[in-house]
Structure 1
Amino acid sequence: MTAPASAGTTEFDKESLRNHLRDKLGPDGGLFVLERIGGGQSNPSFFLDYGDRRLVLRKQPAGPILKGAHAIDREYRVLEALFPTGVPVPEPVHYCSDEGVIGTPFYLMKRVEGRVFTDTSLAELPADQRRDIWMAVARTMAAMHALRPETVGLGDFGKPGNYFERQISRWDRQYRQSDLQPIAPIEQLHDWLSANLPEDDGRVALCHGDFRLGNLMFHPTEARVVAVLDWELSTLGHPLADLGFCCMPWHTAPDEYGGLLGIDLAEMRLPSEGEFVACYMKAAPDSPPLLPFHKAFALYRFAVIFVGIAERARLGNASDPEAARFAPLAERFAIRALEIANREPHKLGPF
């Protein structure tokens, strides 16, 4: 995943965890090493060496959280459902709902070895490898959407029908739970989305909810996804919600959470948004077309997510100690979505 932080940066009683795991997994043989994984805005994660097991621990953040956020139990359920399928996920090991152990629910999964790319331009890779990485993203997403939820025990993982209508309502509620000052572009965008809902076509798939390059782990040497990570926002929904979300880099600038807007894609040997979407459509030939609505909706959701990050930073329980720096992006992402909605070219430079 990402570089581990100091082993001393845990926020809970390690001996309590060790005692719990001794009961569940057996003795550790004297090897119990816990290291915080740096980065991330959501559920805190840790590398755990327990005996001969190389694991990852994921938990809810400490302190107050917004209702419905940080759904650790749902994450674990998805891993259990998908691990036997061809969709690459880490192997689930143990789920604990008892907050008395480390202060919040948590789960363990086996550690997967591979590469995670947080730079959407893939500048660290040779130019001739960048396109293949992005095409692997598209194909993996299509494979996930091809699964029938009821066949993997997820038929009740979300409500059927009217997905986008329900999601707009949900994210509006989450936005309004925050004590931050109102953000006019987010509220304008909410109104546009509500007025431009596409007709419900009845499609239902497992949606990741945060399907982007940084949440995928790739084979150490090949352009192949070996694990899809961070399933806390997953639900049953419309597959174009994930596709629109994954298209965000083409509509945001490098200083806006690492987008591609303004980068010379041809010079960097990166695919255009159209080429990326075409790769997905080839792997999902019965998919309806991706509309401006789907991309604007994706940016709206991420804008509200940034509101949540800013709120956690204000409350002092964000996973990233520098999370406050992301607060301005809530408004910026809403502006980008309104540019799409109004079919205006994206503006570069200061707002």
Structure 2
Amino acid sequence: MSNAVGLDEEAVSAWIADLGVGAVAPLTFTRIGNGQSNLTFQVDDSGGAQWVLRRPPLGHLLASAHDVAREYRILSALQGTGVPVPKVLALTEDPAVTDSPLMLMSYVDGVVIDSIGVAKALTPERRRATGLSMPAALASIHRVDLELAGLEDLASHSPYAERQLKRWSGQWEQSKTRDVPEVDELAGVLARSIPDQRELTLVHGDFHLSNVITSREDGRVVAVVDWELCTLGDPLADVGALLAYWSEAGDVVTGPFIASTLDGFPTRAELAQAYFDETHRDPAALGFWHALALWKLAIIAEGVLRRTMEDPRNTAAVGGPSTKIIDDIVARATIVAAEAGLQ
């Protein structure tokens, strides 16, 4: 046993043994990933086989947040659709096994570029291959037939931009540690600039470099993970978010995600071009979605800052956002909005 916080290892081991997946006792559980959301564990058996286990974070949670059962439903629906995802094996909400839902998935071997160190170990050619395969993975998500996959009722069909602005403006009011007039000004600009929603697709909601597993051979995306923010909405929202998280070497403000500044990774313009070449969608509204994603990123970071101020134990091992980083993200959002002609 490995004393993994949040798991009754004896009960979970017995549950996995009864699933018929060939697990050979004893099992060991190791926390993996550096996400601050659902907890992810690598499961190893004594025969060398591996699986992945997901559970919600510890402590008090909002009703809809970190819903592992919903994530299980989404991943189950995506099996065989052409979207690269792990194979889902089982879900349990049995109180004799766990205090919250647990999902068991296949282990996907590959590289997760979740730090500058991992990115530096790759060749520029591998970095470029990974970057250019991300729009193709995103396009596969946006191609999913909602009716065929049984995901039509996953979320509201009302206009996505309005939903996002309302939700995140509320989050800002609850989580801000100070007044930042530019955040409110941007909310106004975005509200006045909402593009018409022409289609409704599956939206990953958190698509960036840390949430894909890439091939050890050629660098392409072999699995998209962390589906807890998945919803129905405008596909360009995912493209805007990818650009918001994608820093470039020439940026005055790189923000917290700096792996993509290394030589070899494509530029934001190249990522966008690859996506539109693949999907033939109209790129006209991309500036709106890019600015919205940066505005939202600043609000998320402010929430993390507030939690660390209220309780220093919430500080991640890699540190947390500072007011300067947040102000810099807001400044970048303002620039992107202006360049897109939003006013």
TM-score normalised to the size of structure 1?
0.83
For 1:257, give the aligned amino acid: P
Inter-partner Cα distance in structure 1 for 2:83 and 2:216 = 18
What's the % identity of the aligned pairs?
A: 31
**Which residue of the partner structure matches residue 41 of structure 1?**
36
Offset, 1:225: 1.2
**Which residue of the partner structure matches residue 226 of structure 2?**
230
**Which residue of the partner structure matches residue 299 of structure 1?**
294
**Which residue of the partner structure matches residue 194 of structure 2?**
197
**Which residue of the partner structure matches residue 256 of structure 1?**
255
Offset, 1:183: 4.4
Unaligned ranges ≥5, structure 2: none
TM-score normalised to the size of structure 2?
0.85
For the aligned residue pairs, the C-alpha RMSD in angstroms reads 3.0
Matching residue within 277, 280, 288 for 2:275: 280
Change (3 A) 1:160 1:168: same
Number of aligned pairs?
333
Matching residue within 74, 77, 102 for 1:106: 102
Offset, 1:98: 4.3
2:333 aligned with 1:334? no
**Which residue of the partner structure matches residue 134 of structure 1?**
131
Change (3 A) 1:195 1:215: same
Change (3 A) 1:290 1:326: same
**Which residue of the partner structure matches residue 164 of structure 2?**
167
1:27-106 → structure 2 map (5 Å cutoff): 28-50=23-45, 53-98=49-94, 101-106=97-102
1:28-86 CA deviation, whole Å, 9 max, x = no partner? 54221101114122111110124665211111111123443212222111110112121
Offset, 1:187: 2.9
Aligned residue for 1:130, secondary structure, equals helix
1:127-179 CA deviation, whole Å, 9 max, x = no partner? 23332221101111112112221121111112113111111112223333437
Change (3 A) 1:78 1:276: same
Offset, 1:226: 0.8
Aligned residue for 1:333, secondary structure, equals helix
Change (3 A) 1:138 1:305: same
Change (3 A) 1:301 1:115: same
Change (3 A) 1:157 1:123: same
Change (3 A) 1:130 1:18: closer
Inter-partner Cα distance in structure 2 for 1:27 and 1:271 = 42
